[in-house]
Structure 1
Amino acid sequence: MVDEPANTCDIDELRELFLFEGLTDDQLRRLCARATVSTLPAGPLCREGDPATHFYVLLDGEISLSKHSGDRIIDMWTTSQRGAYCGAWSAFLLDDDVRYELNASLTRPSRLLMLDATTLGTFLHTEFPMATHLLVGHSHGRAHAGRIIGPHERLVQLGQLTAGLTHELNNPAAAAVRAAAALRTRIAETRHRRAETGADPALLELHDRFAEAAAKPTDLTTGQKTHLEEALGEWLDARGVTDAWEHAATFAEAGLDIDWMERLSASGCGETTAALRDAVRSLSSTVETELLLTEIADATKRISVLVDQVKQYSQLDRAPFDVTDVHRLLDSTLAMLSHRLGSGVTVVRDFDNGLPAVPCYPAELNQVWTNLINNALDAMPTGVLTVRTRRERDTARIEVCDTGSGIPDDVLPRVFDPFFTTKPFGEGAGLGLDIAVRIVDRHGGSLWVESVPGDTRFITTLPLTARPR
């Protein structure tokens, strides 16, 4: 962006703008002496997150403001009102790290009054000391309130959002579980009715036994199933069964081995190759049906489990304060973050099963675990995430450990400072650990970090007897 030749600042023009109402002629002259009036082409004016170096007042033209939200840019405001301002709004803080809070662009060539942020901040402190003190206090107070109240408001919003969602998900999931069980019963009844039409009773008995075996979970590993499939395929192929390997895969998935095939052969249902072929095809269909029913039932039960974990995580069914099993809170948090646990991350739950329930605000502790586990995963794309609990006298000790590169010594003392972050702009506000410390402190506990390369531990201790404040 190339500025056109600067224009002269006119105090008579400034008097017409609402922003400068009430300033004396002497104040306007001093302000004008330090200001620049420029006509700029359409295009970007300042970018959110960059150091706030200038304060801009619109004299003629049009300004558009926007703000980042995730990976989107949200349009906030567009105006052509003379006297509208943007840029270094917080210049009164006289802080070297003040940054632009919004994106600003000119939608057409515009004439602007431009003030250096330090000049404006010094002017405000000199000319309006009491007002500036009030502004600084309000700014810091608003930031402090946002750090404390913001997480609670997000939890309320999460509760409102998930309350309806979990209800809607749980009902059809439970209905699907019931339907799968009822369908399994109806299929069995259909098989039994075939006996009335002259079907072989021995084969019907085998259908029932094969179905019962297929409905039970198997603990075979993938390698064991592969070996079993090969053995079954060879057995069936040697006896002239058509599609032997397809049937073998179905039987192996259900954990039905050669003994079951021998049982079929000895039942009299496979005295001829044709009879054996028909019996295998029929039994394979029954087994496949049972496997599909089991898969449906398991999947729908898993949905119900996930719904319960969401409710546990957001504490929808709990009073704000409760005496809670901290292991359930940790498990629910890990479940909520499962999308971040890639194949390169191994999770180790080293839980002390003798640890008593903890008096706490469960939803707030889930926020602590979320921040700590998220930070651990950010520190190591691959490695071991260990969540450990122990009892130490009258406290519960909870450790979130990662095997990342560790926290540098010069950074370690600052990790709990508000707004401190090592992440790029837009990826972290530097408030996660500050909020976690405040929550743990509210519970009368402590949170600290110990770190060496390959072993970083965020350690939380919580009282087992004292009621949180």
Structure 2
Amino acid sequence: MTAAVEEPRRMTRDELRTLFLFESLTDEQLDWLAREGHVTKVDEGKVFSEGDEATCCYVLVSGGLRMCKLLQGEEVEINRTSQRGVYAGAFNAFFGADDRKGYTASMYVLEPSEFFEIDAATMATMMNAWFPMAVHLIEGFVMGMRRTNETMGQRERLLALGSLSAGLTHELNNPAAAAVRAVSTLRQRVAGMRSKLAMLADGTLDTTKLHQLVAIQEAAVEKVAKAPERSPLELSDAEDELSDWLDEHGARGSWDVAPVLAAVGLDVAWMEEVLTAVGPEYLEGAIRWLMYTIDTESLMNEIDDSVTRISTLVGAAKQYSQIDRSPYQVVDLRELLKSTLVMMSNKLQGITVVKDFDPELPPIPAYAAELNQVWTNIIDNAVGAMNGSGTLTLRTKRDGAYAVIEIGDTGPGIPAEIRNRIFEPFFTTKPIGEGTGLGLDISWRIIVKKHHGDLRVDSQPGDTRFKIVLPLNPENEIEAQADLS
């Protein structure tokens, strides 16, 4: 409800000079202000609301005020004062239209108060006429900071993209190289199988025994997918036992054959079945054929796994970069977090990753690529803080009309003396050349300004948690803020 306003009165030159904002003005300037401005008495209540058209500048003459900003639909007090001469409202009226179109906060009076009120247009005329150089300097400073933030923000994104690209290239190279090696070895094994198969099927091995050998082969192939988990010592003992049996039965190269057979759980009992099926004459050929079969199946599994890993990495890269997708879309936050982890897997070596994702968290409309940048910035800082070892925890949950994402680490924590500065542009604790100080500033603007959410941090040694809050329905959030104003 708008506070009651009484009839205004004028202030004299001497009264205006008692306000620190005007104490250095000339008599002529003070006289002009006395004519153009007036005193407004305001009872307890709201004077103006954040986001409203900025029409007036208010200078406190007596009483007290408090300033508030909207955060997740609630007003948060940012200042409370009774100091004479403090100012609020359209004090930046001399800027360009884009910079002064709305009040940046809401103002309330704490008690019946008096303000010297200046119209925004009058403020703009006064500043540009009396202090043209100051106006140019301030506008230059503001524009310069804006351009610097934009340029450095782009560089921050490029640096992050370059780092992720290098990690992705490394991750793609491993399965690709494994697939190439497996294909080369597979070609050799297939050639060996053909040779041994031709020898076994030369007509001297009767059909019954050949069928028995094929049955043994099929059973061995099934064991490849169900190879038992054994300790290195157990595996070594099994290889020695097989090698001894092969040597006793005149099989050559037992040192080459035994590890392949033992790896999938074949033992002396299996070798006895092979011996019974083909007899001593064809034993070595049958064992080699069995080894090639097992090796071939294992190599095909390795190729399948490698190609699947490549496909997963490419899919994660598309999900992370949001290629060919609308910037603003309905997204699953869990999938965005998973794709970011895949993209950063090279940096997460030695780090234990814990994922605690709420399966009931609904998709939300958001700028997916920019949220991925937020996860990347925070996770990168967390990994750096843990210095190569620790636990990274990612948690999602629903809290009423909001989605909550927590990213925690077990690093040394953020010192209390700098905790309030970490979201400032260009503030960084990293060595020169390793950080621009814009990662968290960009993240804060993406979450708070663009998604109407909240980003905060709680930190103590061994437990640092960044908490991101996003509205499930941003349109309702914007409407709620408008209603409050």
C-alpha deviation, 1:257, in angstroms: 4.3
Which of 208, 212, 218 is the matching residue for 1:209?
Answer: 218
Name the aligned partner's letter for residue 449 of structure 1.
Answer: V
Change (3 A) 1:420 1:152: closer
Q: Which residue is equivalent to 2:386?
A: 380
Are the counterparts in 2 of residues 177 and 297 from structure 1 also a CA contact under 8 Å? no
C-alpha deviation, 1:357, in angstroms: 2.2
Name the aligned partner's letter for residue 376 of structure 1.
Answer: A
Structure 1: runs of 5 or more not aligned: 1-125, 162-169
Which of 460, 463, 468 is the matching residue for 2:471?
Answer: 463
Q: Distance in 1 between matches of 2:165 and 2:327?
A: 15
Q: Is residue 2:461 matched to residue 1:453?
A: yes
- Map 1:387-402 → 2, pairs under 5 A: 387-402=394-409
Name the aligned partner's letter for residue 403 of structure 1.
Answer: T
Q: Distance in 1 between matches of 2:164 and 2:415?
A: 38
Which of 355, 358, 371 is the matching residue for 1:365?
Answer: 371
Change (3 A) 1:260 1:461: farther
Change (3 A) 1:249 1:172: closer
Structure 1 or 2, whichever has the larger Rg, is 2
Which of 342, 351, 366 is the matching residue for 2:349?
Answer: 342
Q: Which residue is equivalent to 1:245?
A: 255
Are the counterparts in 2 of residues 406 and 453 from structure 1 also a CA contact under 8 Å? yes
- Aligned to 1:286, the other structure's residue is in SS state helix
Are the counterparts in 1 of residues 402 and 471 from structure 2 also a CA contact under 8 Å? yes
Name the Cα RMSD after superposition: 4.5
Name the aligned partner's letter for residue 139 of structure 1.
Answer: G
Q: Deviations over 1:203-234 (max 9, x none)?
A: 65157415633653646255464454344345
Q: Which residue is equivalent to 2:327?
A: 320
C-alpha deviation, 1:421, in angstroms: 0.5
- Map 1:179-258 → 2, pairs under 5 A: 197-198=202-203, 200=205, 201-202=210-211, 205-206=214-215, 208-209=217-218, 212-213=221-222, 216=225, 218=227, 220=229, 223=232, 225-226=235-236, 228-237=238-247, 239-258=249-268
Q: Which residue is equivalent to 2:298?
A: 291
C-alpha deviation, 1:235, in angstroms: 4.3
Are the counterparts in 2 of residues 210 and 287 from structure 1 also a CA contact under 8 Å? no
Q: Which residue is equivalent to 2:142?
A: 137
Q: Distance in 1 between matches of 2:316 and 2:244?
A: 45
Q: Deviations over 1:324-383 (max 9, x none)?
A: 22222112111111111233x222222223322232221111101111110011001211
Q: Distance in 1 between matches of 2:267 and 2:342?
A: 36
Q: Which residue is equivalent to 2:420?
A: 413
Are the counterparts in 2 of residues 380 and 404 from structure 1 also a CA contact under 8 Å? yes
- Aligned to 1:360, the other structure's residue is in SS state strand
- Aligned to 2:420, the other structure's residue is in SS state helix
Are the counterparts in 2 of residues 421 and 430 from structure 1 also a CA contact under 8 Å? yes
Q: Deviations over 1:242-288 (max 9, x none)?
A: 333321211133343455334324xx23533x543332223212222
TM-score computed with the length of structure 2 as normaliser: 0.58
Change (3 A) 1:333 1:228: farther
Q: Which residue is equivalent to 2:431?
A: 424
Change (3 A) 1:236 1:398: farther
Q: Distance in 2 between matches of 1:380 and 1:428?
A: 16
Which of 434, 443, 458 is the matching residue for 2:451?
Answer: 443
Are the counterparts in 1 of residues 220 and 294 from structure 2 also a CA contact under 8 Å? yes
- Aligned to 2:277, the other structure's residue is in SS state coil
Change (3 A) 1:185 1:457: same
Change (3 A) 1:131 1:444: closer
Change (3 A) 1:134 1:411: closer
Q: Is residue 2:270 matched to residue 1:264?
A: no
Q: Is residue 2:377 matched to residue 1:353?
A: no
Structure 2: runs of 5 or more not aligned: 1-130, 167-174, 476-485
Change (3 A) 1:386 1:232: farther
Q: Distance in 2 between matches of 1:185 and 1:282?
A: 10
Q: What number of residue pairs does the alignment pair up?
A: 338
Q: Distance in 2 between matches of 1:314 and 1:351?
A: 22
Are the counterparts in 1 of residues 182 and 300 from structure 2 also a CA contact under 8 Å? no
Are the counterparts in 2 of residues 421 and 429 from structure 1 also a CA contact under 8 Å? yes
Q: Deviations over 1:108-156 (max 9, x none)?
A: xxxxxxxxxxxxxxxxxx9954543342232122124346666778899
Q: Deviations over 1:27-69 (max 9, x none)?
A: xxxxxxxxxxxxxxxxxxxxxxxxxxxxxxxxxxxxxxxxxxx
Are the counterparts in 1 of residues 176 and 310 from structure 2 also a CA contact under 8 Å? no
- Aligned to 1:307, the other structure's residue is in SS state helix
Change (3 A) 1:282 1:298: same
Are the counterparts in 2 of residues 352 and 389 from structure 1 also a CA contact under 8 Å? yes
C-alpha deviation, 1:452, in angstroms: 0.9
Identity among equivalent pairs (%): 39
